[in-house]
Structure 1
Amino acid sequence: MTLLQLTYAVALDRHGHFGRAAEACHVTQPALSAGLQKLEAELGVVLFDRAAHPIEPTEVGRAVVAQARQVLAEAERLEDLVSEATGELAGELRVGILSTLAPYLIPLVIGPFARRYPGVELVFEELVAETISDHVRRDLLDAGLVATPPTVRGVEEVPLFEEPLVGYVAPGHRLYDQDAIGVEDLSPDDVWVMREGHCFRDQALDLLARGAAGRPDAKAVQFESGNLETLQRIVDRGYGMTLLPWLAVQGQGSHAPASVRPFRAPAPSRTVRLVYAATLVRRQLVRAFAAEVARAAAADLPEGAVLYAPEG
Structure 2
Amino acid sequence: MTIVQLEYIVAVDTYRSFGIAAEKCFITQPTMSMQVQKLEEDLGVILFDRSKQPVVPTEIGVEILEQARVALKEGYKIKELISNKKGAVEGELKIGIIPTLAPYLMPGVISAFMDKYPKLQLIIWEYTTEQIIQELKNGLLDCGILSTPVKDKSLHENPLFYECFVAYLSKSSPLIAKKNLSTQDIDLDDLWLLNEGHCMRNQILNMCNRDRSDQLKPFEYNTDSVETLKRMVDMNRGITLLPELSMAGFSVKQLDRVRYFRSPGPSREISIVTHRNFLKKRLISILEQEIMLAVPKRMQNNKKKQILDIY
In which range does the TM-score fall when normalised by the shorter chain?
Answer: 0.7 to 0.9
Provide Cα deviations, 1:164-220, integer angstroms capped at 9, x if missing partner. Answer: 11111112212111111111222223111111111110011111216x8xxxxx725
Alignment match, 1:225? 222
Provide Cα deviations, 1:285-309, integer angstroms capped at 9, x if missing partner. Answer: 122112211221235x559656xxx
Provide Cα deviations, 1:212-253, integer angstroms capped at 9, x if missing partner. Answer: 8xxxxx725966531211111111124111111110113457
Q: 1:37 to 1:204 in 2, by over 3 A?
A: same
- Check whether the contact 2:49–2:58 (CA below 8 A) recurs between aligned residues: yes
Q: 1:189 to 1:84 in 2, by over 3 A?
A: same
Q: Which runs of 4+ in 1 moved over 6 A?
A: none
Structure-to-structure mapping, 1:29-178, within 5 angstroms: 32-37=32-37, 39-40=39-40, 45-150=45-150, 154-178=154-178
TM-score normalised over the length of structure 2: 0.84
- Check whether the contact 2:161–2:299 (CA below 8 A) recurs between aligned residues: no
Q: Select which of 255, 258, 261 maps to 1:257.
A: 255
Structure-to-structure mapping, 1:201-216, within 5 angstroms: 201-209=201-209
Q: 1:20 to 1:255 in 2, by over 3 A?
A: farther
In structure 2, stretches of 5+ residues that fail to align are 304-311
- Check whether the contact 2:167–2:242 (CA below 8 A) recurs between aligned residues: yes
Provide Cα deviations, 1:254-274, integer angstroms capped at 9, x if missing partner. Answer: 981111111110011001111
2:269 is the counterpart of 1:275 = no
CA drift of 1:155 comes to 3.1
Q: 1:5 to 1:257 in 2, by over 3 A?
A: same
State the distance in 2 between where 1:303 and 1:70 align.
37
State the distance in 2 between where 1:60 and 1:94 align.
30
Q: 1:135 to 1:253 in 2, by over 3 A?
A: farther
2:282 is the counterpart of 1:288 = no
Q: 1:225 to 1:21 in 2, by over 3 A?
A: closer
- Check whether the contact 1:192–1:225 (CA below 8 A) recurs between aligned residues: no
Give the residue type in structure 2 aligned to 1:67. Answer: Q
Q: 1:238 to 1:33 in 2, by over 3 A?
A: closer
In structure 1, stretches of 5+ residues that fail to align are 213-217, 307-312
Q: 1:62 to 1:126 in 2, by over 3 A?
A: same
- Aligned residue-pair number: 299
- Check whether the contact 1:150–1:156 (CA below 8 A) recurs between aligned residues: no
Secondary structure at the counterpart of residue 157 of structure 1: strand
State the distance in 2 between where 1:31 and 1:201 align.
43
CA drift of 1:84 comes to 1.0
Alignment match, 1:310? none
Alpha-carbon RMSD across the aligned residues, in angstroms, is 2.8
Give the residue type in structure 1 aligned to 2:134. Answer: D
Give the residue type in structure 2 aligned to 1:286. Answer: I
Secondary structure at the counterpart of residue 134 of structure 1: helix
State the distance in 1 between where 2:208 and 2:137 align.
33
State the distance in 1 between where 2:59 and 2:234 align.
55
- Check whether the contact 2:142–2:279 (CA below 8 A) recurs between aligned residues: no
Moved more, 22-31 or 263-272: 22-31
What's the % identity of the aligned pairs? 38
